[in-house]
Amino acid sequence: MEVKATTKFVRGSDIKFRRLLRIIIGKDAQKALDILDHLPSRNAKVIYKLLHSAIANADHNNSIPVEALVVKRAWADNGPIMKRFRPRARGRAFPIHKKLSHITVVVGSKGEEN
């Protein structure tokens, strides 16, 4: 049984989120939470909350204990880009692209195959 949690429209680059997600894929859910809790990145806190939500979904909806959960899959997709402009000298404007991301974490039981 696999359970997933998704968060959308999170401020941050999908590339930076993927770097953190690669660390936790395949780890026990509790160990992944500990790793994310000790990382100094702001993005790690977002993924921590998302993983915590996936664990709560598994526990509440499917009665799977936390000890039996493993992070099966996790990915980050790029969302829409907020386009802003920075005024510069001589009446010019330089574009600023503020990236948004959609993140998904899938947890499942230890003994199951993908």
- pLDDT tens-digit map of 23-74: 999 999 999 999 999 999 999 999 999 999 999 999 999 999 999 999 999 9
Q: Is residue 114 part of a domain?
A: no
Helix (H) or strand (E) holding 12: none
Three-state DSSP class for 110? Answer: coil
Q: Is residue 53 part of a domain?
A: yes
What is the per-residue pLDDT for 114?
Answer: 54
Domains: count for the chain: 1
Looking at the DSSP bridge assignments, the partners of residue 95 are 85
What is the per-residue pLDDT for 103?
Answer: 98
Q: Is residue 51 part of a domain?
A: yes
CA 73 to chain centre: 11
Q: Above pLDDT 90, what percent of the chain? A: 95
Instruction: Return the amino acid letter for 45.
Output: K
Q: Above pLDDT 70, what percent of the chain? A: 97
Q: Give the sheet arrangement for strand 2-11, strand by strand.
A: 2-11, 93-109, 69-87
Task: Give dist(CA 41, CA 52) in Å, integer.
Answer: 17
Question: Over 80: is that where the pLDDT of 111 sits?
Answer: no
What is the per-residue pLDDT for 31?
Answer: 97
Task: Give dist(CA 114, CA 93) in Å, integer.
Answer: 50
Range of the domain at 72: 2-109
Question: Over 80: is that where the pLDDT of 112 sits?
Answer: no
Task: Give dist(CA 102, CA 10) in Å, integer.
Answer: 6
Which residue shows structure tokens 């977002």?
46
Which pTM was predicted? 0.90
Q: Is residue 34 part of a domain?
A: yes
* CATH number of the domain bearing residue 27: 3.90.470.10
